[in-house]
Amino acid sequence: MGKGHGYGKVILFNEHFVVYGIPAIASAIDKKTIAEVKKCSSNEEFILHDEREETPGYKKEKMEHQRESIIRIKRAMGIDQCIEIWLGGDLRAASGVGASAASCAAIARAIADEFGMSCSDAEINEFAYEGEKAYHGNPSGIDNTCATFGGLVWYEKGKDMERMSVKHPVEIVMGDTGIVANTKKAVEGVRERKEKMPELYEKIFDDAKKLVYEARDAIMDEDWELVGKLMNKNHELLQKIEVSSDELDYLVNIAMKAGAYGAKMTGGGLGGYMVALTPGKELQEKVARAIEETGHYALRTKIGI
């Protein structure tokens, strides 16, 4: 039986903007999806046992995307035999945490293992990107890059990713709105509004580009107070392009009131997760509990691992 893994992720800066060639910063987190694959003799394309913990309704909502994704991965890898797949691990299946990309990378690795294919991480990343197209239409590539390689990433679409590193991994909290988001719809909405209001969007996109270079320097300096302030500004830009939501804004405000250095939506938006920067275990726990007291799920993790 073949086995593979894919990391969850958090986008710290510039989701959506990255689709248009503006740099983004993202990090793998210390939660991952594990896939196991074995050959089978059925006439079906595949048999799936999805045992991941989930935001209620996520797996059902994403079922058709998931089916297309697995078929895309198989075809990209030249596999025409039925496979049986088990999905598990400690990454909760939800919007905004790279769950689809983590599963794509894990499945691709497990297929390669089961069929004795000698695939580099770069090749696994390409297969995972093919799978991501089923979920996102025109994916930026940042999710599958984090899922495959791990670590802290500076990413520009169409270019080789650049690894970033910090000496001291830092705590974050990710709060789940409980809303299963449609990333494809969010991406298409930005494109439509950008075409209708080009001058307004050009200004917003220019601001996002300037901000991410400042954020890169702040992260490398481990100036977490400045990183937090820039996360707040990035959230405002994402609000302006209408990919946040009342639920995301609510959790962002809860985190800030509890003392987070900064907070913003993360991922496709319109639901899913937000992220709060909470250096130190004590602050992380305080912010996580504040989110949990509202009845929402809080994920305690780190970036820069």
pLDDT digits (tens, 9 = 90+) for 110-134: 999 999 999 999 999 999 999 999 9
Using DSSP, state whether 228 is helix, strand or coil.
Answer: helix
- Provide, rounded to the nearest whole percent, the portion of the chain with pLDDT above 70: 100
265: which strand partners? 274
- Whichever domain contains 195, its CATH number is 3.30.70.890
Whether residue 143 contacts residue 132, with contact meaning beta carbons closer than 8 Å, is answered with yes
pLDDT at 112: 98
Indicate whether 117 and 253 sit together in one domain.
Answer: no
- Identity of residue 131: G
Q: Is 143 a catalytic residue?
A: yes
Could you tell me if 256 and 150 lie in one domain? no
Mean pLDDT for 209-226 is 98
pLDDT tens-digit map of 181-215: 888 899 999 999 999 999 999 999 999 999 999 99
Domain boundary among 133, 164, 195: 164
Sorting pLDDT into bands at 50, 70 and 90, what band is 297? very high
User: Rounded mean pLDDT of 2-21?
Assistant: 96
* pLDDT tens per residue across span 232-274: 999 999 999 999 999 999 999 999 999 999 999 999 899 999 9
- Residues 261 and 140 both lie in one domain: no
* Strand pairing class (162-164; 152-155): antiparallel
Total count of domains within the chain: 2
Res. 140: pLDDT tops 90: no
What are phi and psi for residue 182, nearest 5 degrees?
Answer: -105, 95
**pLDDT at residue 163 greater than cutoff 90:** no
Question: Do 45 and 11 lie in a common domain?
Answer: yes
Q: Give the residue among 13, 8, 3 at the shortest CA–CA distance from 305.
A: 8
Residue that terminates a domain, selected from 140, 164, 188: 164
* Same domain for 152 and 24: yes
Domain boundary among 135, 164, 193: 164
Quote the pLDDT of residue 286. 98
Residues 6 or more apart whose CB falls under 8 angstroms from that of 137 comprise 184, 187, 188
Report the distance separating Cα 95 and Cα 93, nearest Å. 7
Task: State pTM to two decimals.
Answer: 0.87
The CATH number that applies at residue 14 is 3.30.230.10
Identify the pLDDT of residue 133.
96
- Catalytic-role residue among 50, 121, 143, 223: 143
Is residue 40 within 8 Å of 98, Cβ to Cβ?
Answer: no
Considering only 27-31, 207-211, 277-281, which range has the smallest mean pLDDT? 27-31
Backbone conformation region of residue 96, classed left if phi is above 0, alpha if psi is from -120 to 50, else beta: left
In this structure, the answer to whether residues 141 and 10 fall within a common structural domain is yes
**Same domain? 217 vs 133:** no
Say yes or no: 180 and 155 in one domain: no
* DSSP secondary structure letter of residue 97: T
Q: Is the pLDDT of residue 137 over 90?
A: no
The domain in which residue 73 lies consists of 2-164
Residue ranges of E strands in the chain: 2-13, 24-39, 46-50, 83-89, 152-155, 162-164, 170-176, 262-265, 273-277, 297-303
Q: What is the DSSP code string of 98-140? A: THHHHHHHHHHHHHHHHTT----HHHHHHHHHHHHHHHHSS--
202 and 151 within one domain: no
Q: What is the DSSP letter of 245?
A: -
Handedness of CA 213, 219, 223, 227 (dihedral sign): positive
Q: Are residues 160 and 174 in the same domain?
A: no
